[in-house]
Structure 1
Amino acid sequence: MGFKSWIHDTNLRVARSPVGRWFRLENSGHPKERKGSFFFTELRAGLATFFAMAYIISVNSNITSETGGTCICPAESMNDHCATNTEYLLCVQEVKRDLVTATAAIAALSTFCMGLFANLPIALAPGMGLNAYFAYTVVGVHGAGMIPYRVALTAVFVEGWVFFGLTLIGMRQWLARALPASIKLATGCGIGLYLALIGLTYSAGIGLVQGGVDTPIELAGCANQYFDPDTGLCLNSEKMRSATMWVGIFCGGVLTALLMMYRVKGAVIIGILLVSIISWPRTTPVTYFPYTDLGTSMFDFFKKVVTFHPIKHLLVAQEWDISGHGSQFGLAFITFLYVDILDTTGTMYSMARFAGAIDERTQDFEGSAAAYMVDAISISIGSLLGSPPVTAFVESGAGISEGGKTGLTSCMTGIAFFISVFFAPIFASIPAWATGCTLVIVGALMAKAAADINWRYYGDAIPAFLTIAIMPFTYSIAYGLIAGILSYITLNGTAWILEKASGGRIVPPNRDESDPWSWNVPGGMFPPWMKRAAKGQKDFWRRDEENPGSYSPESLSSVQQDHRTIGKHQ
């Protein structure tokens, strides 16, 4: 028996087993088996997804640890937000290690459950963009933002359960479909620019730009010792001379982009690892482990290579007394909720369509209710581990393009994330300049949504542009969304009022080119299971086509037509 024959026979045996029928593999005999889905193809696709998105372990820990986590900055060091307090920074390093474990753990659990219960090849992890909003706006660098870290985790926890409730009653799906198309497209693009800006800064990137005095933002790129002590800016003579910046640009940016151009699998991981390996020796100008107390502490942890790092500082760190943060807590909660509706729902729909799981008649996809519930519960569980909101990842497309069609792909990705939990020292030792260009590249991929915005009609174009521009310029996703929605309501609401008041005489000349919008979207507000329950169907959780004892109106009329045809022939 040759190797190919063994692969074929194994695929066939697995497909005919209970595992194959559960995941609806081809040849499983399931009425809705997914053509072209085979066991080994699904495993390979799962690994492709993992290598495409494994960067989130280091990037999320780098970004979120900027908040300081549960570490407390002494009052005497508040002037510089503990940027020079060694004891505090050592605590932050522990938080970063906790976040490596937390990110890998919640990605493993949520992705595996997505595959097992929703049977979709979609991976979940703490979301890019949302983690930046969490770190730099809600909590702020070393806690200088709107609300403390513990209160922010409470907002995330509550959001997850609100999400779960919205999913049960179908409101989440309705909101995602009812939002104006221009705002939905602009949100992804704006978040992309926001991520790119973060990747270019010092705190979580390559250090190419920094806040200015005479200008809002200035060119930087100098080593730490060449900052002007009076202004905090780079000395003019030392700009663009940082060795770590150039290593990040060429090895983490240019090389990664070239590999992506040639469709090399795992291009992002290759770029990150190359920059990290260059930065690990302690005797080079670009070392991540300088001979300081902080550098030595990081190097001692790095030398362990393989170890399980338990979460010490962040486990169940919520603060439920929000009396002193009411309005800011509400703003953070609503923004998390809204961005998640757009981000996760949009990503799931696009990935389900890519995998061929969309029902064109209903514009829904198989396992959508289970997928939304897994996502919602994962958000709350992730907050208990100290993580920002969990969301679906567009990198799932890497696995789908490798042939992944079922939940087996996600299960394999989840197992790979679980194994990565035991390599915390490696992931915790990836420097910010190794992941900065990754953020820029991810931003570039997200910006392609701008091509689909309706630029012909100003009522759609201007709100979309404001959404895109305000996000990076104010360093806040929330303000971008507020600007976009309010401008959309103002412009289009005023035009509607003028049209009604003038009896239809005052109308924008090209109003017919605007994107159609209505709150009454196809499919209605309530989910199918609720409609079936309202009709008295006892097994309301089953789709109509899966229940041999019930028929949808379309299927019933089809059956009646078949009977009439048979009668004519008899």
Structure 2
Amino acid sequence: MGWVQNTNAKIARSAVGRYFKLEGSGHARERKGAVFSTEIRAGLAGFFAMAYILAVNASILSESGGTCVCNGRSDDPICEVNEEYLLCIAEVKRDLVTATAAISALSSFCMGLFANLPVSLAPGMGLNAYFAYTVVGFHGTGGTPYSVALTAIFVEGWIFFALALFGMRQWLARAIPRSIKLATSVGIGLFLTIIGEGIGLLQGATSTPLVLAGCTSDSFDEDGLCLDSAKMRNPQLWIGIFCGGVLTVMLMMYRVKGAIIAGILLVSIISWPRTTSLTYFPYTAVGNDAFDFFRKVVDFHRISKTLVVQQWDISEYGGQFGLALITFLYVDILDCTGTLYSMARFANVMDPVTEDFEGSSVAYMVDAISISIGSLLGCSPVTAFVESGAGISEGGRTGLTSMVTGICFFISVFFAPIFASIPPWATGCVLVLVGSMMMPAVTEINWQYMGDAIPAFVTIAVMPFTYSIANGLIAGICLYILINTLVYVVEKASGGRIVPHNKATKDPWTWRIPGGVLPPWMKRAAGGKKDFWRADPLPVSDSSSDTPGAEKMARTNSTELAKGQPVLVPEHAQEKRA
């Protein structure tokens, strides 16, 4: 036995091993395959899969303008070429790199420490786009100031905390029709793809919504459109496509860890020299300022423009504030809850009877508090990251995985000059790739029954076409209610004689959820258990000793989940569920 195995065995038998339920700890609910060295490796893999968020989130949120004030002129109403405004935005971007790293570090570490789940948190993709381009708007053109939007996020976090504390968050997530849940993921993926035009491939037009672009900055006509002779001639476009896109895809196909961050770094390194035609640091006031910050390399950047800038007087923005708050609530419920459930299944810590996972209430509360703290730093809502699957696929089974990821994010706080100098054409293809990763959900939508299919399709289509996640959600839910209510009314009025020919294929929907609405801790308290904060042994654990082959089935289920295959449930569990 080598020193690694000896170390693993010693830690497993220690108080740390027992707390995190490592294999060999002697804990009644120890997790199979949970080994200390594997957890460390899994945490590093998770960080490299998520590290792109530092550059991408700061890039997206800074396009809202942050707290910068645009004094537009008639020829530049939204300050697209105003140097003073652009310098302010550059400072906001640096603030947001630090803020993103800080909140990702804190939230991921706390998720591992308190919930003991291998799931990491960071400002969510999709929600940051909705925040920047719909609520606040590009350079503040959305009607809701940056400071008011952050207030909505702060309030949302505490509403989430209350919902999680009393078990309502789980119920609300289950109450949404399955087809709309799946369509939301697909629609956000397409929305991210549109936002990925940071590579400069597309631009808005007059005769059509979008046209092919790819011009250099000096190749636009008087209407701001790309000249036909200059289309697809921008070297930044091609570097972004081949190095940030094609190369990243190839690395991902061969399962190279950190493929996304590798593509981003390669494009960035190519774009940093100032003597090339695709440099990110041109010899302008903005370019000089960015290059001066970049040269520091290692530096702790103090947040100056986005720290605690909430505006509590929302009387002038009541309607916009309410819409933003409701949309953040709804989208975050779907996003975080869906991700936590999928990652918990992947890590094999689900209870097949109650369809809940270990530490669910604590996990939701950590997420909720992280949302509010993140807003104080200037960030959009924090959520569970599906890239946590990279760590789980490396063998991560406990909270040690996400704690290691959190420590890595903390270290990255001191490398803000590097992450703030990543150009948009380095992250554009990443957004397209992230969007493509969200597409598999489209195959799970029930396309057979139009009452499910049409609302789902409308949800998917409206999000990218209107540049708004909120519009897609509202359209899909309203259409679902309208269609299915009319079908119900016609069926009742006709005495059950007039029904759609394939109604039997409709996705089932009910407001009742397995295991009830109340969270486990509240049930234990109501049952008179003094240490109600301690979880009872899972029914699966009890049955595993009584049912031959149950342990093998658990391992098989974990493998099948990783492959996206259906999972077998033991007969005794099916009887309990029934």
* Alignment TM-score, normalising by the size of structure 2: 0.92
Shift of residue 543, structure 1, vs aligned partner: 2.5
Alpha-carbon distance in structure 2 between the residues aligned to 1:78 and 1:544: 67
1:100 paired with 2:97, answer yes
What amino acid does structure 2 have at the position aligned with 1:226? S
- Tell me which of 519, 525, 538 is aligned to 2:511: 519
Please list every run of 5 or more consecutive structure 1 residues that lacks an aligned counterpart in the other structure. Answer: 559-570
Alpha-carbon distance in structure 2 between the residues aligned to 1:385 and 1:293: 27
**SS of the residue 2:422 aligns to:** coil
- Tell me which of 108, 113, 125 is aligned to 1:111: 108
Does structure 2 conserve the Cα–Cα contact (< 8 Å) formed by 1:77 and 1:85?
no
Q: Which residue of 2 aligns with 1:284?
A: 276
Which moves more between the two structures, 484-493 or 521-530? 521-530
Q: Which residue of 2 aligns with 1:567?
A: none
Alpha-carbon distance in structure 2 between the residues aligned to 1:255 and 1:70: 37
Matches within 5 A, 1:156-171: 156-171=153-168
Q: Which residue of 1 aligns with 2:217?
A: 224
- Tell me which of 242, 245, 252 is aligned to 2:237: 245
Does structure 2 conserve the Cα–Cα contact (< 8 Å) formed by 1:52 and 1:269?
yes
1:207 paired with 2:200, answer yes
Matches within 5 A, 1:215-364: 215-229=208-222, 231-364=223-356
- Tell me which of 41, 44, 55 is aligned to 1:44: 41
Shift of residue 87, structure 1, vs aligned partner: 1.1
Alpha-carbon distance in structure 2 between the residues aligned to 1:14 and 1:520: 42
Alpha-carbon distance in structure 2 between the residues aligned to 1:250 and 1:266: 17
Alpha-carbon distance in structure 2 between the residues aligned to 1:360 and 1:77: 62
Alpha-carbon distance in structure 2 between the residues aligned to 1:194 and 1:216: 15
Q: Which residue of 1 aligns with 2:451?
A: 459
**SS of the residue 2:383 aligns to:** strand
Alpha-carbon distance in structure 2 between the residues aligned to 1:476 and 1:141: 13
> What do residues 503-533 of structure 1 show as CA deviations (whole Å, max 9, x unaligned)?
0011000000010011122222222222333
Does structure 1 conserve the Cα–Cα contact (< 8 Å) formed by 2:28 and 2:537?
no
> What do residues 36-59 of structure 1 show as CA deviations (whole Å, max 9, x unaligned)?
111110000000000001000000
> What do residues 48-98 of structure 1 show as CA deviations (whole Å, max 9, x unaligned)?
000001000000000000011111112547943111111111111110000
Percentage of matched positions with identical amino acids: 70
Please list every run of 5 or more consecutive structure 2 residues that lacks an aligned counterpart in the other structure. Answer: 547-578
Q: Which residue of 2 aligns with 1:445?
A: 437
1:53 paired with 2:46, answer no
Q: Which residue of 1 aligns with 2:132?
A: 135
Which moves more between the two structures, 380-389 or 220-229? 220-229
Matches within 5 A, 1:173-184: 173-184=170-181
Q: Which residue of 1 aligns with 2:494?
A: 502
Shift of residue 544, structure 1, vs aligned partner: 3.2
Alpha-carbon distance in structure 2 between the residues aligned to 1:533 and 1:8: 40
Aligned length, in residue pairs? 543
> What do residues 408-440 of structure 1 show as CA deviations (whole Å, max 9, x unaligned)?
000100000000000000000000000000000
1:386 paired with 2:383, answer no
Shift of residue 161, structure 1, vs aligned partner: 0.3
Alpha-carbon distance in structure 2 between the residues aligned to 1:10 and 1:539: 32
1:23 paired with 2:16, answer no
**SS of the residue 2:37 aligns to:** helix
Q: Which residue of 2 aligns with 1:529?
A: 521
What amino acid does structure 2 have at the position aligned with 1:163? F
- Tell me which of 144, 158, 162 is aligned to 1:147: 144
Alpha-carbon distance in structure 1 between the residues aligned to 2:214 and 2:73: 30
Over the aligned positions, Cα root-mean-square deviation in angstroms equals 1.5
- Tell me which of 407, 410, 414 is aligned to 1:415: 407
> What do residues 384-415 of structure 1 show as CA deviations (whole Å, max 9, x unaligned)?
00000000001000000000000000010000
Shift of residue 545, structure 1, vs aligned partner: 3.1
What amino acid does structure 2 have at the position aligned with 1:147? T
What amino acid does structure 2 have at the position aligned with 1:148? P
> What do residues 311-336 of structure 1 show as CA deviations (whole Å, max 9, x unaligned)?
01111010011111111111111110
What amino acid does structure 2 have at the position aligned with 1:291? Y
What amino acid does structure 2 have at the position aligned with 1:481? L
Alpha-carbon distance in structure 1 between the residues aligned to 2:307 and 2:220: 37
What amino acid does structure 2 have at the position aligned with 1:314? T
Q: 1:77 to 1:294 in 2, by over 3 A?
A: farther
Alpha-carbon distance in structure 2 between the residues aligned to 1:79 and 1:295: 20
Does structure 1 conserve the Cα–Cα contact (< 8 Å) formed by 2:353 and 2:514?
no
What amino acid does structure 2 have at the position aligned with 1:445? M
Alpha-carbon distance in structure 2 between the residues aligned to 1:430 and 1:52: 17
1:492 paired with 2:484, answer yes
Alpha-carbon distance in structure 1 between the residues aligned to 2:74 and 2:335: 38
> What do residues 269-325 of structure 1 show as CA deviations (whole Å, max 9, x unaligned)?
110000000000001011000000100000000000001001011110100111111
* Alignment TM-score, normalising by the size of structure 1: 0.93
> What do residues 465-521 of structure 1 show as CA deviations (whole Å, max 9, x unaligned)?
011110000000000000110010011110001001110011000000010011122
Alpha-carbon distance in structure 1 between the residues aligned to 2:4 and 2:396: 16
Does structure 1 conserve the Cα–Cα contact (< 8 Å) formed by 2:446 and 2:452?
yes
Q: Which residue of 2 aligns with 1:562?
A: none
What amino acid does structure 2 have at the position aligned with 1:285? S
**SS of the residue 1:80 aligns to:** coil
What amino acid does structure 2 have at the position aligned with 1:423? F
What amino acid does structure 1 have at the position aligned with 2:119? I
**SS of the residue 1:414 aligns to:** helix
Alpha-carbon distance in structure 1 between the residues aligned to 2:316 and 2:61: 23
Alpha-carbon distance in structure 2 between the residues aligned to 1:78 and 1:183: 43
Alpha-carbon distance in structure 1 between the residues aligned to 2:48 and 2:475: 36
**SS of the residue 2:211 aligns to:** strand
**SS of the residue 1:30 aligns to:** coil
**SS of the residue 1:218 aligns to:** strand
> What do residues 211-230 of structure 1 show as CA deviations (whole Å, max 9, x unaligned)?
1101111111111111112x
Q: Which residue of 1 aligns with 2:396?
A: 404
Q: 1:458 to 1:398 in 2, by over 3 A?
A: same
1:69 paired with 2:61, answer no
Shift of residue 539, structure 1, vs aligned partner: 2.8
Q: Which residue of 2 aligns with 1:566?
A: none
What amino acid does structure 1 have at the position aligned with 2:159? V
**SS of the residue 1:67 aligns to:** coil
Alpha-carbon distance in structure 2 between the residues aligned to 1:521 and 1:121: 25
Does structure 2 conserve the Cα–Cα contact (< 8 Å) formed by 1:272 and 1:434?
yes
Q: 1:148 to 1:545 in 2, by over 3 A?
A: same
Q: Which residue of 2 aligns with 1:477?
A: 469
